[in-house]
Structure 1
Amino acid sequence: MRRLFPALLIAVFLLVGGLASPAGAHPMSTSAVLLDLLGDRVEGEVQLPIDRLAVAVHRDLTPGSVLGADRAFLERYTARHIAAVGADGAGWTVTLGTGSVRTIDGTAHLVYPLTVRPPHGQDVTDFRLRYDVIVEELLTHRVLVTVRHDFDRGILGAGDAETLGVVDWDTTSVEVPAAEGSWLRGFAATAGLGIEHVGEGADHLLFLLMLLVPAPLVAAGGRWRAATGPSARRSVLRVVHVVSAFALGHSLTLALASAGVIHLPSRPVETLIALSIAVSAAHAIRPLVARGEVLIACGFGLVHGLAFASLVGELGLDRGSLVTSLLGFNLGIELTQLLVVALLMPSLLLLARTACYPAFRVGTAVVGLLFSVSWLLERTTLTGSDPFEGLQLWLVGHPLLVAGAVAALAGIARLVAPRPLQAVSQAT
C-alpha cells in the first residue's frame, strides 16, 4: 500500500497537469459590452463568442447559422437578457441592431449594435445595466463592460476607455455613471487631443516650419533678402500673419467637414498635405510670389483642416458636444502652433541677421522637400514605405533638443558672422 500511494499521487498530478495545460493554452472566451454615452442615448455593441453562445443556448452554432437559421432565435434570446434601469427605477428602452460576425482575438463573435434610451426623451443619467447573456447558463463565463466614449468625462477613444466592471453568474448588473462629468472636462480632453495630434504629426509641424523659415526675410528681385533697420521688427508681424492665415484656413474646413458639409477621402487629403509641404519648401528656397507664405498658409490650411476633421469624426460625437469639441480641439492646435513659434522664432529672427541664414534656410527647405516627396510617393502608393520615418519620429519626439540646437546655431552664427550677406528694407 505504501508503494501504491506515491504511484497514485504521481498519476493524479499528471492527470491534473494534462487537463490544466490545454485550458492555460486556450483561455475561455469572454463577452464584451461596449458603451458610447451620447447625451440623449447610449450606443454601443454586444460581442458574443459563438462557441460559448452555443453552449448557453444548447445549439450547434456556426458563423453561418447565427446569421441564417438561428438568427431570429438568437436576437430574441439576447434581447431578453439585456435591460437598463434608471436611478428612479424606471426601465429604459433597449434595442438591438442587425447582427454580424466578427473575429475578435482569434475567436468568431456574434456582434449586435446596441441602443439604450431613457424614457420620455430624457438625457442619459446614471443607470444600471442588467445583463446575463450566456452567463445565466455558464458559471465560468465573464463579460467585460466598458465605456469607450463619454465626452463629459473626457473619454474620447480606445486610449481613454474605462472598464466599469465584470458581469458573471454571481454579478449580473453593473452601474454606468453618466452624470459625473461636465462640458469643461470634455473641452479639456479635446484640447489635449488637438495638442497631441499636432505635436505628434510630423507633416503638420514641418509645414508650419517651412512657412516660418522665410518669414523674417523680404522677397526682392525673385530672391530672399534679409531685412535691416527699424523695419525688421515687422518680421514679427509677418509671423503673426502666417500663423493666423493657417489657423483661419484649417478652422474653416475643420468646422465644415465636422458638420458634414464637405467630405474628402483620407488618402487624397494626406497626399495634398504632402504637396503643401513641397510647395512651402520650394517657396522657402526661392519666393514663388510676394508674401506667398501667407497665401500658402491659408490655402493649404484648408487641406490640413480636412485632416483634423477626420480625427474629430472618429470620436463619434453627437450634435450636443460637437461645437464644444471643435472649440477645444482647435484651441489645442493653436496652442501647439504658438508653442512652436515661441520655441523657434526668436532663434530664426536672430539667425536671419547673420551670413549663415541663407545656408540654413536652403538646407532646412531641402530636408523638408525630401520628406514631402517621400510622403507623396508613399501616399500615392508609388512606394511601400517612407525611408525617413525613423528620423521624422526622432525629430518630433525631441522638440526641445531641436529648438536648442537651432538656438545654439543662432548664437554661434551671431558671434562668427554677425552681418547678413545682403539686406534690403522691408518697405521695399
Structure 2
Amino acid sequence: MKRLLPAFLIAAFLLVGGLASPAGAHPMSTSAVLLDIGDDRVEGEVQLPLDRLAVAVDRELTRDSVLGADRAFLETYTAGHISAVGDDDRPWPVTLGAGSVRTIDGTPHLVYPLRIRPPDGRVTTFDLRYDVIVEELLTHRIIATVRYDFDRGILKTDDAETLGIFDYTTKSLEVPAGQGSWLRGFATTAGLGVEHIGEGADHLLFLLMLLIPAPLVATRGRWRTAPSARRAVGRVVHVVTAFAVGHSLTLALAAAGVIDLPSRPVETLIAVSIAVSAVHAIRPLVAHGEVFIASGFGLVHGLAFASLIGDLGLDRGSLVTTLLGFNLGIELTQLLVVALMMPSLLVLSRTRVYPAFRTGVAVVGLVFSVSWMLERATLTSYDPFESVQTWLVGHPLIVAATVAALAVVARRTVPRAPSDRHEVLSAR
C-alpha cells in the first residue's frame, strides 16, 4: 500500500492538472443582458456565447446553424427562460427580435434584440428573471447591465451600471426603473453638450475665428476699430446668436431624421468653415461677414452635433428633452468662451497691437483648418498639429490668461488704435 501511495498521488496530480489546464487556457464565456430603460418600454439585447449555449442545449452549434436549422428551436428555448414581473406581481410581456451572430471578445455570440413592455404602459421597478444556459450549465455567469436610463442620468457606455450577475443561485434581479427624474437626465445631457464643445478643438476654433473680428467694423475692405465699445459688444451678440440659431436648426432636423448626411463630408465642411472664418478675420470678405459665416456654417456644425447624439444613443429617450439639454450645454460653453475671451479682445482691439494679434491667430487657425481638411478628406493620414491642439483645448484658462495679460500690457504700453469715427459711421 505504501508503494502505491506515491503513484496514486502522481496520478491524481496529473488528473487535476489535465482538467485544470484547458479551463485556464480557455476561460468560460459569459453571457450578457443589456437593458435600455425608457418611459413605456425596456429594450436591449441578450448575448449568448455559442460554445456555452451548445453545451446547455446539447447540440453542436455553428454560425450557420443558429440562423438556419436551429433558429426556431433556439428562439423558443431562449424566450422560455426570460421573464419579467412588475412590482404588483403582474407579468410583463417579453419578446425577442431576429437573432444575429456577432463576435464579442473573440468569441462568437448569438445576439437577440430584447423588448419588455409593462401592461399599463409605464415602466417602473421590476424583477427580471433569467436562466438561459445557466439552468443546465451551473458554472455559467450572466452579467446584467443597464446601459441607458435617461431619468437616472445613464446615457452612454461610460455611465453603464451593472445590475448584478445571474448564476445558478441567482436567477432574478431587481431592475430599478422609473426612478430619478427628467431633470437629472436633462442635466446629464446638458453636461454632454458642455463636454463635447469643451473637447472639440474644431468647434472652439471656429467660434474664436468669429470672435476675433467681432470688435471691429469693415470699411472699404479693411478692418477698423469699432466707434464704441457698445457697438463692439452688439456685434459679438449678433455673431453668437447667429451661430446658435444655425446649429440649433440643423441639430433638431438631423436628430429628428429629416436630414441625414455622412459624417466625413460634414467634418470636412467644418474644417472649411474654420478656413473661411480665418480668412475673413485677416481681411473682411464682406461687411458683417462673420454673422453670415456664423449662421451659414452653423448649419454644418449642427449636423455634427446631431451625429454625436446618434453615436451616444441619446435619441433613445425623449428627443425634445435630449435636444434641449444638449443644446443648452453647447450654448453655456459658448457663452463661457465668450466671457473668457471677449473682454481681452475688446481691450486689445483698441490698441495698435490688435492687427498683428488678429492676423497671427487667424493664420494659426487657417493652418489648423487646412490640416483638418486634408486629413478628413483622406488626403493625408494624420494631423501633425494634433498634440498642439490637444494641449490648447486642455488648458483653456492658461490661453485666456495669456490673452488677458497681453491685453493689460498692450493697454498700458501701446498707443490706442486710430479710429476715424466719421468714416466708420458712414459705412454703417
Aligned twin of 1:82: 82
Tell me, which stretches of 5 or more residues in structure 2 are unaligned?
none
Aligned twin of 1:327: 324
Match of 1:310 among 283, 307, 311: 307
State whether residues 202 and 393 of structure 1, in contact with CA within 8 Å, keep that contact through their aligned partners in structure 2.
yes
Aligned twin of 1:196: 195
**Aligned-pair Cα RMSD in Å:** 2.0
Q: CA separation of 1:217/1:140 partners in 2, compared to 1, >3 Å: closer, same or farther?
A: same
Aligned twin of 1:356: 353
Identity across matched positions, percent = 77
Match of 1:423 among 403, 419, 422: 419
Moved more, 10-19 or 369-378: 10-19
State the Cα distance separating 1:349 from its structure 2 match: 1.0
Q: Secondary structure at the match of 1:354?
A: coil
Q: What is the number of equivalent residue pairs in this alignment?
A: 424
State the Cα distance separating 1:57 from its structure 2 match: 0.4
Partner Cα distance (1:6, 1:206) in 2: 77
Amino acid at match of 1:140: T
Residues 249-293 of structure 1 show CA distances to partners (whole Å, capped at 9, x for unaligned) of 111111111122222121121111111111100100100000111
State whether residues 38 and 317 of structure 1, in contact with CA within 8 Å, keep that contact through their aligned partners in structure 2.
no
Q: CA separation of 1:10/1:248 partners in 2, compared to 1, >3 Å: closer, same or farther?
A: same
State the Cα distance separating 1:16 from its structure 2 match: 4.5
Aligned twin of 2:235: 238
Aligned twin of 1:390: 387
Q: TM-score, normalised by structure 2?
A: 0.94
Q: Does 1:124 align with 2:123?
A: yes
State whether residues 309 and 315 of structure 2, in contact with CA within 8 Å, keep that contact through their aligned partners in structure 1.
no
Partner Cα distance (2:286, 2:3) in 1: 98
Aligned twin of 1:406: 403
State the Cα distance separating 1:26 from its structure 2 match: 2.9
Q: Secondary structure at the match of 1:64?
A: helix
Q: CA separation of 1:318/1:264 partners in 2, compared to 1, >3 Å: closer, same or farther?
A: closer
Residues 61-82 of structure 1 show CA distances to partners (whole Å, capped at 9, x for unaligned) of 1112111111111111101001
Q: Does 1:288 align with 2:285?
A: yes
Q: Secondary structure at the match of 1:130?
A: strand
Q: TM-score, normalised by structure 1?
A: 0.94
Amino acid at match of 1:364: V
Partner Cα distance (2:14, 2:218) in 1: 84
Residues 70-101 of structure 1 show CA distances to partners (whole Å, capped at 9, x for unaligned) of 11111111010011111111111111111101
Amino acid at match of 1:227: A
Q: CA separation of 1:343/1:9 partners in 2, compared to 1, >3 Å: closer, same or farther?
A: farther
Q: CA separation of 1:274/1:150 partners in 2, compared to 1, >3 Å: closer, same or farther?
A: same
Aligned twin of 2:47: 47
Q: Does 1:161 align with 2:160?
A: yes
State whether residues 35 and 149 of structure 1, in contact with CA within 8 Å, keep that contact through their aligned partners in structure 2.
yes
State whether residues 35 and 45 of structure 2, in contact with CA within 8 Å, keep that contact through their aligned partners in structure 1.
yes
State the Cα distance separating 1:408 from its structure 2 match: 1.6
State whether residues 218 and 424 of structure 1, in contact with CA within 8 Å, keep that contact through their aligned partners in structure 2.
no
Partner Cα distance (2:15, 2:414) in 1: 83
